[in-house]
Structure 1
Amino acid sequence: MAKRSYPLAKVYGLIEPGPVVLLATAGKTRPNVMTLSWLMPVEFEPPLLACLLGAGDYSYGLLRKSRECSLNIPAVELAEQVVAVGNCSGREVDKFAAFGLATRPAACVGAPLLEACYASLECKVYDSRMANRYGLFILEVVKAWVDGAVKNPRTLHHRGMGAFMVAGETIRLKSAMK
């Protein structure tokens, strides 16, 4: 195998951290939703997730203030809406209305859950000490919901510059189950 030098600005696309999610937050006037692709698990129990938001994102301020959110995991069928949500700001647009995203109330947090997503995680901020410097929040999942009818979701994974990979095939290796 012959390897060649690769641009550092494109490294993100090689190691994308997980499925693209829709992060919903509650606000004083209305809830907001943003597309988020920088997310990764950091602990099994309690389930902790790290997510990265830009300080200029409208949702960044809402998450800092409310200290809770929902992470909603869409499948490929919502790809166009996921991209549209990511291409505008909740400061100017009610994204739920603009993109036809139906919601329902969460059980443990003030942020809504998105009906069309196959899974939703209700989260509370567990640690925000690195938010000012890096935009990094550690979230604790306090309630999880999944659509049992969806057996093998085809999730979106951001590769950068408008490119996405679609995951969905599951393989099981006996050697990995030891």
Structure 2
Amino acid sequence: MRKNEEPMFKTYDTLEEATHTQPRVTALLACQHNLMPASWHMPVSKSPFRYAVAVREENYTHALLEKHRSFTLNFLPFDHYETVSMMGKIHGDIEDKLSKSGLVVEGIDSNENVLLSASDFIYECRVCDTYKNGDHTIFIADVSNIHVNEKQSHKPMLFSGRGKYATVEETFTVPKRSIV
């Protein structure tokens, strides 16, 4: 760093203190009829297709996942960000989040988890492993079915933290590299 110049980066000790944008695709996790916004999730295996979600132990959804060992991940388009945000502010053990959401149920999976009509796509998941780490439990699940809405919005909902939502402005398809 040059003399008399401000540092480019500020350093923080915790995630709560940091002010950075951390965009992640957001979904509504449904365990039975309870809905929880989920942005801490990711694929962990392609074959078999496995998906992981991290849920705080203090959340009502955590107890439901431990009991029922299954869930659906409903990936709603950006247009539903206000509903998803509201679902994070309601306690499922006190209020019926599904009713409050106003979302239409397309059906239920074989484990009685809801499939939401507004979703661009839905993963049906059956928990096969758990891993406790810090204040979250990671639920690793086999994805048994993938439901794809033929009329996808192509506007995924991204959560950036601190109540901020966004979507992608442009998408680009990079051609696959040909092997010579």
TM-score range, shorter chain: 0.7 to 0.9
1:117-155 per-residue CA deviation (whole Å, 9 max, x = no partner) reads 1111110001114379741111111011011122x5211
What amino acid does structure 2 have at the position aligned with 1:157? L
1:173 alignment partner in structure 2:
174
* TM-score normalised per structure 1: 0.85
Q: Does residue 1:13 correspond to 2:21, yes or no?
A: yes
Query: Within 1, Cα distance between the matches of 2:169 and 2:150?
Result: 16
**Amino acid of the structure 2 residue aligned with 1:13:** T
- Give aligned-pair identity as a percent: 25
| Higher strand content, 1 or 2 | 2
List runs of 5+ in structure 2 lacking aligned partners.
1-6
2:9 paired with 1:4: yes
Distance in 1 of aligned mates of 2:141 and 2:160: 23
**TM-score of the pair, normalised by structure 2:** 0.84
| Structure 2 CA distance for partners of 1:48 and 1:176, relative to 1, 3 Å | farther
- Partner in structure 1 of residue 90 of structure 2: 88
Larger Rg: 1 or 2? 2
1:13-162 to 2 correspondence within 5 Å? 13-14=21-22, 16=23, 18-26=24-32, 31-130=33-132, 134-150=136-152, 153-162=154-163
**Deviation of 1:5 (Å):** 2.4
Greater mean alpha carbon deviation, residues 89-98 or residues 161-170:
161-170
The number of residue pairs the alignment matches comes to 170
- Which structure shows the higher helix fraction? 1
